[in-house]
Amino acid sequence: MELCSVFLPTILLLLLSVLYSAILFFKRSAPPKATESLVLKSYPVIGNLPHFIKNGRRLLEWTTDLIASSPTGTVTVAPIVFTANPTNVEHVARTNFQNYPKGGEILSTFHDFLGRGIFNSNGEEWLLQRKAASFEFNTKSLRAFVLDKVRHETVDRLIPLLKRAGRSGEVLDLQDVLERFAFDNICSLVFGEDPKCLALESEDGERFYHAFHEATELSIERAKQPFSLIWKLSKWLDLESERRLRESMETVHGLVEKYVRSRRKLSREGGGSDFLSRFAADGAHSDEFIRDILISFVLAGRDTTPTALTWFFWILSSKPEVVEKIREEIRVIRSQRRNYDSEVLTLDELREMGYLHAALSESMRIYPPVPLRPCESRREDELPDGTRVRKGWTVMYSTYAMGRAEGIWGQDCGEFRPERWMEDGVFQPASPFRYTVFHAGPRMCLGKDMAYIQMKAVAASILEGFEVEVVENRGKHHLSMTMRMEGGLPVRIKERNIS
């Protein structure tokens, strides 16, 4: 009798919940008006979980199809709202920015790896890091430092590697080459330390590279779990995936903390141009906080530019006319500046390369490095297109779907056409609320200009000096921290005679 009295209220509450959900599910409501966003009908009790399980491996395609079928470019799959509507993006990313921070579940999922770094924080902690990073990114000395590191990595490592592969006929995984290139560069920028991953010359660098990659992948696997309780239980039980994550994080944190302690001592003697020297010289932050900030910077530089360049070279493999236009642009700029011998273009020359800039932008429109941008609603809200958002729901704008939206880019949105970015021979940028590759509003990417510098320097050097042949069928994506190419990009290199 006592047992019944304890469980009866719970059982009745559960039955009422099931009955209420069933009524909502079977209720025949009027079809949505032409101006209403699409709302995916959920199942009783379990909601939309079956939809996410069924489409988990094709999330981008599934949500893009749903968005395309919605009159407003928005679809509600409670508790998530997916949108490709520029007015909604502006509302979430700028107008009502304070209501849409990063969600608590996301922060919790990545906390072990990213701590309180800029990519895993809100409020004052985020603002503090944003202001400090914004100041650093806007200094001329930093831009010169970045280009100097890119030039060194290109001339001393990338070009010799490609020449050797061309002579031997070796097949290279271009995605792996570009990721190692980017990792060397971002570590030099952030820590003032060169891991020499592209040259395979450092055991510590190789260990850092692989540990960082594994920690990133396993953290993403956490985020893909339908309930956070699953990974938390796995962590408590010390299951294999969580054990591997802990071990890889220990490697990453240990090396970064070693760099921080070392630079603390040097900063008293004058410091350097890298981020670590600049933050260490401040003396206002703990070693752990600096560690978290720097890991976020490495994450940003390691993944995004190589992902963008991998898709770019894959697209160009079937666009010889675009390749020739880029090469002609390089020839013209070199001729005008009488720069015939340097293997890397100067900063001013790279900035003049409007067509290459357009081709890279067009590639990222179709294959954005970060295809989905989530945030969480603090309060109930209504988006500009009328979509209702409940407190605690996730609003996710899809850069991937926006790049394929006919309403934004026209009927030829499925075509790769760099000319859409050019007007009278000059590159014309798009609104960040239409072209969300670099985010928008207060969280807009601070490294955008430097990302373009690096991508243009690498792309120009490779296209000018080499023919790149893709030797295996590719084109499928793998969703990690970025939209990497599944299986890499195997290519064969042939050196060009440009004399």
Token pair 């400090």 is at which residue?
A: 132
Q: Is residue 42 within 8 Å of residue 20, measured between CB atoms?
A: no
DSSP 8-state assignment for residue 121: -
Q: In a structure prediction context, what are the per-residue pLDDT tens digits for the chain, which is 499 residues long?
A: 333 333 333 333 333 343 334 433 333 333 445 457 899 888 888 888 888 888 888 999 999 999 999 999 999 999 999 999 999 999 999 999 999 999 888 899 999 999 988 888 998 888 888 887 787 777 766 777 788 888 889 999 999 999 999 999 999 999 999 999 999 999 988 888 899 999 998 999 999 999 999 999 999 999 888 788 999 999 999 999 999 999 999 999 999 988 888 877 765 555 566 778 777 766 667 888 888 989 998 998 888 999 999 999 999 999 999 999 999 999 999 888 776 666 678 888 999 999 999 999 999 999 999 999 999 999 999 999 999 999 999 999 999 999 999 999 999 999 999 999 999 989 999 999 999 999 999 999 988 988 999 999 999 999 999 999 999 888 899 988 899 999 999 999 999 986 6
Domain ranges of the chain: 34-495
89's CB contacts (< 8 A; 6+ apart) are 83, 397, 402, 433, 436, 440
pLDDT at 481: 87
Under 8 Å between Cβ of 384 and 87? yes
pLDDT at 146: 80
pTM: 0.89
Predicted local confidence at residue 269, as pLDDT: 56
Helix (H) or strand (E) holding 367: none
Q: How far apart are CA 289 and CA 144, in angstroms?
A: 27
- Extract the runs of DSSP E, i.e. beta strands, from 68-213: 74-77, 80-83, 171-173
- CB contact at 8 A, 136 and 449: no
Q: Which CATH class is domain 34-495?
A: mainly alpha
Q: What is the pLDDT of residue 13?
A: 36
The pLDDT, as a whole number, for residue 341 is: 65
Please report, as a single letter, which amino acid is at residue 20: Y
Q: Alpha helices of 375-498 — where are they, by DSSP H?
A: 399-403, 406-409, 448-465
Q: Is the peptide bond before 31 cis (omega within 30 degrees of 0)?
A: no
* Nearest Cα to Cα of residue 117 among 234, 219, 270, 246: 219
Cite the DSSP H helix spans in 154-239: 159-168, 174-191, 203-223, 228-237
**What are the binding residues for heme?**
445
How far is Cα 280 from Cα 266, in angstroms, rounded to an integer?
9
pLDDT at 267: 59
Helix axes 228-237, 203-223, angle to 10 degrees: 130
* 425: Cβ contacts below 8 Å, ≥ 6 apart: 354
Amino acid 397: pLDDT: 95
